[in-house]
Amino acid sequence: MRRLYINTIGCQMNVYDSDQIERVLAPGGYTRTAQLDEADLVVVNTCAIRAKAEQKAFSFVGRLAKLKKRRPGLIVAVGGCVAQQEGEKILSRAPQVDLVFGPKAIPRLGRLVERVRLQGMRLVDIEASDAVAELDLTSGFRDDGQVSRFVTIMQGCDNFCTYCVVPYVRGREASRHPDRILEEIRLLVAGGVREVTLLGQNVNSYGLKEQWGSFVALLAQVDRIDGLDRIRFTTSHPKDLSDHLIDAFGRLDKLCAHIHLPVQSGSDRVLKRMNRRYTREVYLERIARLRQVRPDMAITSDFIVGFPGESDTDFEQTLSLLDEVAFDGIFAFMYSDRSVAPAAGFDAKIDDAQKKARLQALLQHQEAFTLAANQALVGRMQEILVEGFSTRPGLAEEPSARRQWSGRTPGNKIVNFDQELDCTGGETVRPGLMVGVRIEKAFSHSLWGRPVWVEEKPGGIKGETCHAA
Ligand code: SAH
Ligand code: SF4
Ligand code: F3S
């Protein structure tokens, strides 16, 4: 048996790709390990979205030089978006690297690794066709007890936001055939998965080029899969968020009331220079429409601070957008030059200190809204899909602390709770079950509550977790 260690950096798409990498290498005898020291093959699945992500990849690759000295047979492979972007250069920069492969080369990875292993070659495969990279769906699925999974429905991006590297490294938008997506989800569900998140850089344009019908049509088909309970998707581009899709939130039972709708900035001037192709007004109108259809809709977003030319007034407009929308949560990033993206050549760059100050101000401004959105759930019942034990840091140090279960609300908020039901008679909590939890406490990143009911599901292991440490 050979051991495979994968370090995944970057977005959910890379998490999905790492699962695909694991599947494609399984027939070659590779099984995944969490122990770097025992690996025969290390794959670094990289991200190029910001300079920091790229540095993270190179610093990890740097560490592997030592490991390779100790384990001479070790194969080091660099995949993902930095691999696609840098290609050959990685081989000359890092002698410990044996293989560089782009996201589109994943289906060929088994053969590439064999050539490295048997012929001792150093290889680069960053061939970037516009076709979708598909794996054989029937093999290599591993049931690792995960109840929620990502499923990529489309690759690449055609939007060319001026700051973004994705269209250059992931290529043109291409959708997977609906039959393959549905088949994949059915296989996942057969293995115990109850929630899927459909992934694409702009899911709204799913299937349009290929004339396979709309994203909403795909959602409706996924909604009909027996045994699947929850559907999420990401990312939706505000310029393409149609009424049709918004209405689907009111119609499809399994579609969770949460949308991640990255806005990037509250200033029209900045949005224009970013080539986002919507205005603040359009964005706000979409939010209003979403809330009209689903008043309980959780809304989250991404922001970039310090985009070239962003003035104090522009930034103030971003802060005031936070007031107007009252997001459930946000992700915020300091603008980072990507040499292939046009904004790298824009003038009026913002210095690092200014970017840091704006990032802090933005996050601080949002804090009260995030907390308020969480507090609004206190006293309410929420349906939680149990994912496992809470990994809350510090819990082990609390002497009285018991392990807590953890899962998410339909609105994607993390809820932790104790097992307090009658263990001898009723069902007990376990991953993969829905539990009704009454929310009692709200924090900034999670909620805490008491379980009121546990779904009855055939095959439940009654009583097993009663005395969980
Ligand atoms: N397709 C998605 C975004 C994918 S990238 C969308 O259009 O919304 C995830 C996030 O990274 C983006 O939303 C943006 O906020 C951030 N990002 C992308 N390029 C960046 C850059 N050059 N510097 C800083 N943040 C960036
Ligand atoms: Fe990047 Fe814009 Fe495409 Fe999102 S939509 S991946 S930000 S180019
Ligand atoms: Fe990063 Fe590539 Fe995803 S650049 S954000 S891993 S598509």
Tell me, in angstroms, the distance from the centre of ligand 3 to residue 5's CA: 20
pLDDT, mean over the chain: 92
* Domain ranges across the chain: 2-125, 143-256, 381-454
Q: Which atom of ligand 3 is nearest to the CA of 170?
A: 7
Instruction: Give pLDDT tens digits for 7-55.
Output: 999 999 999 999 999 999 999 999 999 999 999 999 999 999 999 999 9
More confident residue, 414 or 468: 414
Tell me, in angstroms, the distance from the centre of ligand 2 to residue 160's CA: 6
Query: To the nearest whole percent, how much of the chain has pLDDT over 70?
Result: 93
pLDDT value at position 169? 97
DSSP string, 56-107: HHHHHHHHHHHHHHHSTT-EEEEEHHHHHHHTHHHHHH-TT--EEE-GGGGG
Confidence of residue 159 (pLDDT cuts 50, 70, 90): very high
Tell me, in angstroms, the distance from the centre of ligand 1 to residue 350's CA: 17
Instruction: Give pLDDT tens digits for 161-208.
Output: 999 999 999 999 999 999 999 999 999 999 999 999 999 999 999 999
Residues with Cβ within 8 Å of residue 282, at least 6 apart in sequence: 238, 239
Tell me, in angstroms, the distance from the centre of ligand 1 to residue 302's CA: 7
Q: Which atom of ligand 3 is nearest to the CA of 103?
A: 2
Residue 469 has pLDDT above 50, yes or no: no
The closest of 456, 453, 427, 457 to 438, measured between CA atoms, is 453
CATH number of 143-256: 3.30.750.210
Task: Determine whether the shortest distance from the Cβ of 262 to ligand 1 is under 6 A.
Answer: yes
pLDDT value at position 72? 87
Instruction: Give pLDDT tens digits for 243-253.
Output: 999 999 999 99
Residue 287 has pLDDT above 70, yes or no: yes
Q: What is the mean pLDDT of residues 78-91?
A: 98
Instruction: Give pLDDT tens digits for 225-272.
Output: 999 999 999 999 999 999 999 999 999 999 999 999 999 999 999 999
Mean pLDDT lowest among 219-223, 273-277, 397-401: 397-401
Confidence of residue 319 (pLDDT cuts 50, 70, 90): very high
Instruction: Tell how far CA 388 is from the center of its chain.
Output: 18
pLDDT value at position 465? 43
Task: Determine whether the shortest distance from the Cβ of 300 to ligand 1 is under 6 A.
Answer: no
Confidence of residue 427 (pLDDT cuts 50, 70, 90): low
Calpha distance 303→364 (Å, rounded): 13
Amino acid at 78: V
Tell me, in angstroms, the distance from the centre of ligand 1 to residue 264's CA: 8
Instruction: Give pLDDT tens digits for 378-416.
Output: 999 999 999 998 876 555 455 445 678 999 999 999 999
Instruction: Tell how far CA 405 is from the center of its chain.
Output: 22
Residue 136 has pLDDT above 90, yes or no: no
| Omega before 8 within 30 of 0, i.e. cis | no
Domain 2-125 -> CATH class: alpha beta
Instruction: Give pLDDT tens digits for 432-454.
Output: 999 999 999 999 999 999 999 99
pLDDT value at position 144? 79
Q: Do domains 143-256 and 381-454 have the same CATH topology?
A: no
Tell me, in angstroms, the distance from the centre of ligand 3 to residue 244's CA: 28
**Strand-pair partners of 5:** 42
CATH number of 381-454: 2.40.50
- Which ligand neighbours the alpha carbon of 331 most closely? 1
pLDDT value at position 442? 97
2-8 and 41-46 strand pairing: parallel
Q: Which atom of ligand 3 is nearest to the CA of 81?
A: 2
Which residue, judged by its Cα, is nearest atom 2 of ligand 2?
161
- Which ligand neighbours the alpha carbon of 49 most closely? 3
pLDDT value at position 402? 62
